[in-house]
């Protein structure tokens, strides 16, 4: 198979990729809606004065697994889920890159990200203003909508949007790459290494903002390599080792305040999950007792709403947990809050994001 040909995605691939997305999503949900509310004494971005924190101290008994990861492997559920999302984004973007022209590719990526981002951040902004009592200026809202807040120095409305900045940087880079193969991936990796090395040796801190996002680009390129060459190909293995070396080194030498991202387990555990999902989907058949139509529909809903869930889950989930904590038992509170996050996400996706995206796609993307 030639390097410039991306293998078509098959139904089996879709199934295992969906499994990976669901695993990543629930790892992030567990981190933000169980661990964080249990241990965080201050949450100024979500609450004004007068709120009792932590949000859900009684949930501390549920986070034993996360505490184990933190204590013995120096990682946590949240970063593991984020790395899975980054790998998956690189994998899926590679398929689109070879199907469209440069302009169509970047247009399609913007259409994929921006309507959901606009709707979700608008919803979150209204929540923190009218429920949390936190003041959000018009400029802060504007710059967050266009992912420019770190450049101009405004705080994020929700902290999870930093992953979208990495994705947009990756899409911009891919717009100027004619063929995604070992040569182009290597060139980009070398450029990332140059930026990081220049910052270290020159003491040029003006690059730090850019490098804080660029350091994750090799991970997305590793996802691209998995799509092009497969998991077992020597080129994929070498590019994976290279990408891991770049990001771990940059974390240890420059971004040491991001504690969990300095651990190699933050990057190896997601790969293990990926491999297990691939072979598990391929060789393990679903028991007949679990082959119900509604389970497939439920899985489809989770997949389709995962982007909106990711963007609103922290803010909406934290408020639900807080206001229900004296009404429901802790376990039921967590389940109910997560359920409400999915319900609101489904409404936003089904009745707002999807129609807008479909309209923009018909208007700006030519039919292939």
- Over residues 89-144, the pLDDT tens digits come to 999 999 888 788 888 899 999 999 999 999 999 999 999 999 998 999 999 999 99
Does 26 reside within a domain?
yes
For residue 4, is it within any domain?
Answer: no
- Dihedral, 357, 359, 361, 367 alpha carbons, nearest 10: 140
The range of the structural domain enclosing residue 228 comes to 11-364
* Number of domains the chain is built from: 1
Is 75 inside a domain boundary?
Answer: yes
In a domain, 2, yes or no: no
Is the residue at 171 inside a domain?
Answer: yes
Entry pTM: 0.93
Q: Alpha-carbon torsion 135, 137, 143, 146, what sign? A: positive
192 in a structural domain: yes
Measured torsion, CA atoms of residues 305, 311, 313, 315, in degrees rounded to the nearest 10: -150
Whether 219 and 90 have beta carbons less than 8 Å apart is answered as yes
Are 192 and 147 in contact by the 8 Å Cβ rule? The answer is: no
pLDDT digits (tens, 9 = 90+) for 227-262: 999 988 999 999 999 999 999 889 888 888 778 888
Domain annotation covers residue 5: no
Q: Sorting pLDDT into bands at 50, 70 and 90, what band is 368?
A: very low
- Split at pLDDT 50, 70, 90, the class of 4 is very low
- Return the minimum-mean-pLDDT range out of 34-48, 182-196, 298-312: 34-48
Q: How many CA atoms lie within 13 A of 324 on its CB side?
A: 21
């Amino acid at each position: 198979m030639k390097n410039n040909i991306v293998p078509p995605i098959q139904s089996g691939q879709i199934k295992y990729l969906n499994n990976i997305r669901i695993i990543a999503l629930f790892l992030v949900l567990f981190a933000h809606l169980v661990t964080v509310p249990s241990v965080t004494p201050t949450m100024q971005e979500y609450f004004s004065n007068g709120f009792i924190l932590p949000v859900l101290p009684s949930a501390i008994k549920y986070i034993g697994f996360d505490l184990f990861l933190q204590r013995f492997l120096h990682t946590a559920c949240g970063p593991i889920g984020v790395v899975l999302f980054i790998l998956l984004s690189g994998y899926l973007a590679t398929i689109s890159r070879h199907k469209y022209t440069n302009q169509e590719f970047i247009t399609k990526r913007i259409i994929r990200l921006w309507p959901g981002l606009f709707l979700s951040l608008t919803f979150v902004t209204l929540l923190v203003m009218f429920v949390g009592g936190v003041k959000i200026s018009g400029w802060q809202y504007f710059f967050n909508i266009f992912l420019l807040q770190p450049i101009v120095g405004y705080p994020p409305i929700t902290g999870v949007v930093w992953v979208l900045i990495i994705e947009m940087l990756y899409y911009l880079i891919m717009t100027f790459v004619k063929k995604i193969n070992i040569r182009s991936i290597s060139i980009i990796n070398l450029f990332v290494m140059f930026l990081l090395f220049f910052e270290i040796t020159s003491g040029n801190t003006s690059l730090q903002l850019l490098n804080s996002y660029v350091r994750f680009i090799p991970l997305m390129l590793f996802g691209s390599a998995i799509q092009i060459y497969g998991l077992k190909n020597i080129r994929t293995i070498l590019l994976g080792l290279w990408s891991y070396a770049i990001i771990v080194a940059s974390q240890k030498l420059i971004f040491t305040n991001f504690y969990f991202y300095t651990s190699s387990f933050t990057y190896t555990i997601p790969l293990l999950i990926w491999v297990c999902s691939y072979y598990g989907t391929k060789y393990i058949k679903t028991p007949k007792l679990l082959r119900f139509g509604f389970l497939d529909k439920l899985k489809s809903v989770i997949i389709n709403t995962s982007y909106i869930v990711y963007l609103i889950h922290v803010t909406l989930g934290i408020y639900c947990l807080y206001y229900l904590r004296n009404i429901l038992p802790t376990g039921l509170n967590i389940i109910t809050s997560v359920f409400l996050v999915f319900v609101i996400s489904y409404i936003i996706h089904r009745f707002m994001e999807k129609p807008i995206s479909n309209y923009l796609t018909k208007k700006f993307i030519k039919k292939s």
